[in-house]
Structure 1
Amino acid sequence: MVYQHEVIVPDRGLPFKLFLFEGGGGKYIREKHWHRSIEIFAVRQGQLDFFLNEKKYVLAAGDFVLVNSNEVHAIHAPLPNETIVLQIPLGVFADYYTEEQFIWFSHSGKEDDRQIFSLLETMFVAYGEKQTGYELKMLSCFYQLEYLLVTRYRKLEVGEEILKNNKQLKRLGRITGYLKEHYTEDLSLEKLAGIFGYSPAYLSRMFQKYAKINYKEYLSSVRLKHAVRDLEETDLAIGEIALNHGFPNSKAFSNLFRKRYGMLPNQYRKTVTSEKERFSSYYLPHKGSRLFLM
């Protein structure tokens, strides 16, 4: 099952975002992407296939992976899982940047891994129970975790290749930001390159080298992501959804959808309806939480 949701911590001035990612019945895919925030994925139950810099990591219960700012990653959930996700704005670590105004964390099986996982678990349980002062408990755990990251995981010297990749992904991020706002339009590689003053060949190489994905695949993944939300949240016809999100016709949309998710859009919609009801009833008792569709 590919239906996904996140339980979001209410906005109470906390310097992070904490939520629960679940793979439902499996088969969920989040394509390659990157962002400025630091992320930690900690698997509580089940299995998660994590792709980081072209390497595959199979995470089981008790494992976690740390994703740096602008580090390309993808997520596959072939089996049901329950994963805590912590997103930390890069600016939280501003006092610990290198001379290049940069920070990078390593993660290669350290002795402190168990403590990191324990802190994440405590934060998540505290939020779920919502006892008096739970926000303070979450903050206390967060600052302990931040201390461990800065003192145990931070790399004091960062290689030129990492710095270069980060710089290029920042530049590419401006382009993908434009693409995400105009994805419904006829955005050929040539047209996008002209808007930003690049040659089509150069822009194509940028996507392939730094994002590890070609332009056409990236644009299709953006369109598909938005189309999936309409499948989940509206009663619009499949053909209308396809045209609304930049696909030339319903056949092109259905072919890509089946290739990605192993089923047709209408089959997905039927399955999602029953899953929505199950997840909604499960989370109704949790006052202050909300359902968030990936």
Structure 2
Amino acid sequence: MIHHLSGIHETADYRTDTQICLYYNDENENYPPHWHTPFEVIMPVKNIYTVDVGKKHYVLREGDILVICPGIVHELFAPETGKRIIFQPGLSQVQIRELELLISLIRPAVLITPEKYPTFHQTAHQLMLEIKEEYFRCEPYYETAIYSHFLRILVDIGRLHGALKHPSADASNSRQKDYLDKFLYITNYINEHFAEDLSLEQIADLAGFSKYHFTRLFKQYTDTSFYKYLNQKRIDYAKTLLLDPNLPVLDVALQCGFSSLSAFLRMFKQLNMCTPTEFRNMYDS
């Protein structure tokens, strides 16, 4: 199934002139640790399917749905028999300002089961089946239909996981919308300026909140801390720079916004379970 693998980096085998790829996979084959730029959505149709994402081990039953974020290293283990949908939608050409916020909420992956999300699971399960049918029928506007179904899944995930699920008791809908708009602006600002010397105090002031109030709200709206979000953006960028074997690791660290090599090495290993050099060697192997 993995047609283009260089080390641990997979280049998705998109259908011509699209950014979508889907396999109705029945292969009794395991797939080694790898990562890619599109999302990956896995739904077993017959028998189980096992997936390792970082340090987490998932055993997917028939109908369970696992959504893996872009850039996350994962490994797949197949049973002797079975079938599963493996869907890889790329969104690099889709301009959605909430997308980075959604990714931060579900990173590295989210498992959708009937026990945890009974109503949403029914919807997501049906949408995945419709995505498969649209992909193989290949009728006019099938690409638009597939993206609309996948975006519906992302929207529901965001609403279930985001701050709007747990609004403050005294907060009006208007205030919630104002806060969400503000944190969309803040996360987009970080996405554009992460390589600069950003501080919690500076970004809190940009948002118009005290440091302590901003810290609480940032966690509420992104499900992570400010510095974890910032460092994740820096490390994601570092992984792309490390694909150039001629670029020294120190230069990678500085271009990503780290003030020292030691801080970069520590954070890279914490988030990827390997050093930058080990990551580069895996890519080149």
Aligned with residue 132 of structure 2, among 115, 121, 142: 121
What does residue 84 of structure 1 align with? 87
Q: 2:142 corresponds to which letter in structure 1?
A: M
Structure 1: how far apart are the matches of 2:229 and 2:265? 17
Unaligned runs of 5+ in 1: 31-38, 51-55, 68-72, 92-104, 127-133, 150-154, 275-294
| Cα distance change, pair 185–228 in 1 and its aligned pair in 2 (3 A) | same
TM-score by length of 1: 0.57
1:41 aligns with 2:13: no
What does residue 267 of structure 2 align with? 256
Contact between 1:42 and 1:65, CA under 8 Å: does it hold in 2? yes
The more displaced of 39-48 and 177-186 is 39-48
Shift of 1:6: 3.5
Aligned with residue 140 of structure 2, among 130, 136, 141: 136
Q: 1:183 corresponds to which letter in structure 2?
A: F
Q: Write the deviation string for residues 135-164 of structure 1: whole angstroms up to 9, x where unpaired.
A: 527359649969x98xxxxx9xx9784967
| Cα distance change, pair 114–222 in 1 and its aligned pair in 2 (3 A) | closer
Structure 2: how far apart are the matches of 1:182 and 1:76? 22
Q: Write the deviation string for residues 248-278 of structure 1: whole angstroms up to 9, x where unpaired.
A: 122211111112222111111111123xxxx
Structure 1: how far apart are the matches of 2:147 and 2:283? 38
Contact between 1:257 and 1:264, CA under 8 Å: does it hold in 2? yes
Aligned with residue 200 of structure 1, among 211, 236, 244: 211
Q: Equivalent residues in 2 for 1:36-115 (5 A)?
A: 41-43=41-43, 46-48=49-51, 59=60, 62-64=63-65, 78-80=74-76, 83-86=86-89, 107-110=119-122, 115=126
Q: 1:42 corresponds to which letter in structure 2?
A: I
| SS of residue paired to 2:87 | strand
Higher relative contact order (CA 8 A, sep 6+): 1
Structure 2: how far apart are the matches of 1:29 and 1:212? 23
What does residue 18 of structure 1 align with? 20
Contact between 1:242 and 1:249, CA under 8 Å: does it hold in 2? yes
Shift of 1:206: 1.4
Q: 1:136 corresponds to which letter in structure 2?
A: P
Task: Provide the aligned C-alpha RMSD in A.
Answer: 4.7
Structure 2: how far apart are the matches of 1:238 and 1:20? 36
| SS of residue paired to 2:185 | helix
Aligned with residue 188 of structure 1, among 196, 199, 202: 199
| SS of residue paired to 2:41 | strand
Shift of 1:119: 2.9
| Cα distance change, pair 188–90 in 1 and its aligned pair in 2 (3 A) | closer
1:3 aligns with 2:16: no
Contact between 1:40 and 1:64, CA under 8 Å: does it hold in 2? no
Contact between 1:42 and 1:62, CA under 8 Å: does it hold in 2? no
| Cα distance change, pair 5–171 in 1 and its aligned pair in 2 (3 A) | farther
What does residue 95 of structure 1 align with? none
| Amino-acid identity (%) | 20
Structure 1: how far apart are the matches of 2:197 and 2:149? 45
Q: 2:75 corresponds to which letter in structure 1?
A: L
Q: How many residues align?
A: 223
Contact between 2:42 and 2:87, CA under 8 Å: does it hold in 1? yes
| Cα distance change, pair 143–186 in 1 and its aligned pair in 2 (3 A) | closer
Shift of 1:26: 3.1
Structure 1: how far apart are the matches of 2:35 and 2:40? 19
What does residue 3 of structure 2 align with? none
Structure 2: how far apart are the matches of 1:232 and 1:61? 37
What does residue 243 of structure 1 align with? 254
Shift of 1:246: 0.5
Structure 1: how far apart are the matches of 2:252 and 2:275? 13
Structure 2: how far apart are the matches of 1:192 and 1:273? 38
| Cα distance change, pair 140–246 in 1 and its aligned pair in 2 (3 A) | closer
